[in-house]
Copies of this chain bind each other. A is one copy, B any other.
């Protein structure tokens, strides 16, 4: 039995990763985010790809107190010796509700662009996608935000960078046009949120939609370290998780 992989192997003298010599070619030459790219495209990103990727990951790795970061802190409270468990606990909620949207946007756009015929304008395609989802009773992922209305400040920033670096291509154009049409239909300005922007831009970077969410998960692992660091700094007496737990303990209404 042999187990095949393109990822890597260690020998006595070298570590190979995706065809590169880890020590000679990668350490010191690429950024952490580029390893994600290498992992899914099996080549080093260009300088522009690296910049674009880092920008999108920065946009989603940290949001302050969220269910994810609170879960991490609560886990740290009970198991401070196992930081990996606290990080893992914070990742486990990256399911359909918050993180899924990125993937659904990418899937929607990638499938639409794939079956676009050469005579269809982006306007026509956008109209078709909106209409089809309506008929299927599906929501439009990437639109709306409970705080950032009518503009999610990350969205225009990411699209501006995408334009500058050459990644504002078919998928992003389609999403932007869908946004226009959707706002017109609704008669008001609806937020094009950061998950929409990321799903579109990663699609324009040719990342398979099935891997889009995993990028967010990795970025989030980075963000969670900051929360654990703050719990360490605060110490037990000023621990947010401890205060949160005590608050709940003192405000529980038990009705069997």
* Chain A residues at the B interface, C-beta cutoff of 8 Å: 1-20, 22-24, 26-28, 30-33, 35-36, 38-40, 42, 51, 54-55, 57-59, 61-71, 74-89, 91-99, 147-149, 151, 153-154, 156-158, 161, 208, 210-211, 213-215, 217-219, 221-230, 232, 238, 240-241, 243-245, 247-249, 251-256
B98 touches A65 (CB 8 A): no
The secondary structure that dominates the A interface is: helix
Give, as a whole number of angstroms, the nearest-CB distance from A45 to chain B. Answer: 12
Report chain B residues within 8 Å CB of A54.
30-32
Report chain B residues within 8 Å CB of A80.
95-97
A27 touches B59 (CB 8 A): yes
A75 touches B92 (CB 8 A): yes
Give, as a whole number of angstroms, the nearest-CB distance from A113 to chain B. Answer: 20
3 closest Cβ pairs, A-B complex? A79-B95, A39-B226, A19-B256
Report chain B residues within 8 Å CB of A147.
10-12
Give, as a whole number of angstroms, the nearest-CB distance from A189 to chain B. Answer: 13
Give, as a whole number of angstroms, the nearest-CB distance from A59 to chain B. Answer: 5
A248 to B69, CA, bound (A): 11
Q: Known contacts being A39-B225, A70-B245, is A253 close to B99, with CB within 8 Å? A: no
B240 touches A5 (CB 8 A): yes
A92 touches B88 (CB 8 A): yes
Q: Please name 23 pairs of A and B residues whose Cβ atoms are closer than 8 Å in the assembled complex, sorted by A.
A: A3-B248, A3-B251, A4-B240, A7-B226, A8-B254, A9-B64, A9-B65, A12-B147, A18-B226, A22-B62, A22-B153, A32-B54, A35-B62, A39-B226, A65-B245, A65-B252, A67-B77, A78-B97, A78-B98, A81-B82, A83-B213, A214-B229, A218-B221
